[in-house]
Amino acid sequence: MSTLRSPGHVPLSAVLLVVSAVACFATSDAIVKFLTQRYPVPLLVFTRFGLQALATFVWLAPTLRWGLWRTPQRGLQILRGTVLLGSSLCFVNALHWLPLADATAINFTTPILVVLLSVGLLKERMTRSRWAFVAVGFAGMLLIVRPGASILHGAALLALGSAGFYAAFQILTRKLRAADPRVTLFYSGLCGTVLMTLLLPFLDYRADMPWAHVALVVTFGAVATFGHFLFILAFRHAPASALTPFTYVQLMWAVVLGWLVYGYFPDGYSLTGIAVIAASGLLLAWHERRRGQGAVATGEPPAVD
């Protein structure tokens, strides 16, 4: 099993894995935004996790057998999967109303919340640089969700809620870093599928989904699942403090895809907010690497699915 290296060393393989993962996340977000205009969000989230659980089971069960279920940290695996489901439900609902780039940028406040949670849960010390990071990142979010703007409604709170869930998810992921990533991937899909199955009888949706939309749903689930697996692998090869800067490529892809697919390009305030959030995260990651501090304190990037 791979071990984490020093924060100063960033293997090219880990960088490529993270960049590929966030490309998958941006693509799946663009697809699901289209689908949320036509189908209930719980149905889409159920499909996404169901496909992940089915694909990983078919792929891994023949080789891992009962090892796919066995883990000494089953409670943490279930909790992690449940928290990821909460993040996914909030974010996909937010995508129904918000532009892709704005929703993604708000969700990138996750590292701010990871810093704050690390103080409360991991008893880490808040340095002046971390307080500055929190303040600057929050200011960037306010530039996107600004008073009087049309974007300021419940959907922005949903995106922020998704970031909160994902902050907890990041900390749990670090606690499970010694676990087999294949088992971790399977449990996240299994938890989401089981919990969402309980909601299906209460959904009102059309059964006559066109084949083109079926293909989009399958693509959405497959791309998101593949992205999560790449994400898990990347953080086994290098510390989060070293890889965090490369995850901000997702913001660029969200802007580009939102423009090409939906014809929306962020205004000056939103672009500034996106840049401020990315800059604050990058500067803190650089500072933490210089200090050689732990990966969790810097926060890990959102893979919001």
- Report the predicted TM-score, pTM, of the whole model to 2 decimal places: 0.78
| 305 within a domain of the structure (yes/no) | no
Based on the structure, what is the number of domains in the chain?
1
Max CA-CA distance within the chain?
57
What local confidence, expressed as pLDDT, does residue 85 receive? 93
pLDDT above 80 (res 160): yes
The residues, ordered by sequence, that sit 6+ positions from 285 with a Cβ below 8 Å of its Cβ are 241, 242, 244, 245, 298
Question: Can you read off the two tokens belonging to residue 221?
Answer: 């689930």
Length of the chain: 305
Question: Can you read off the two tokens belonging to residue 34?
Answer: 């289209």
CB-based contact 162:44 (threshold 8 Å): no
For residue 263, the 8-state DSSP code is -
pLDDT-derived band of residue 121, with 50, 70 and 90 as boundaries?
Answer: low
| 137 within a domain of the structure (yes/no) | yes
65 lies in which domain range?
12-298
Distance CA 288, CA 270 (A): 27
| 5 within a domain of the structure (yes/no) | no
| 303 within a domain of the structure (yes/no) | no
pLDDT top residue among 209 and 30: 30
pLDDT above 60 (res 296): no
| 53 within a domain of the structure (yes/no) | yes
Distance CA 265, CA 24 (A): 21
What local confidence, expressed as pLDDT, does residue 230 receive? 85
User: Mean pLDDT across the chain, nearest whole number?
Assistant: 78
Distance CA 202, CA 200 (A): 5
pLDDT digits (tens, 9 = 90+) for 213-254: 889 988 988 888 788 778 778 877 776 656 767 777 888 888
| 74 within a domain of the structure (yes/no) | yes
pLDDT digits (tens, 9 = 90+) for 188-216: 888 999 999 988 777 766 667 788 988 99
Distance CA 4, CA 174 (A): 11
| 2 within a domain of the structure (yes/no) | no
How much is the average pLDDT of 102-114?
A: 80
| 6 within a domain of the structure (yes/no) | no
CB-based contact 100:29 (threshold 8 Å): yes
How many of the other CB atoms lie within 10 Å of CB of 132?
14
pLDDT digits (tens, 9 = 90+) for 49-84: 888 888 888 888 888 888 788 788 888 889 999 999
pLDDT above 80 (res 116): no
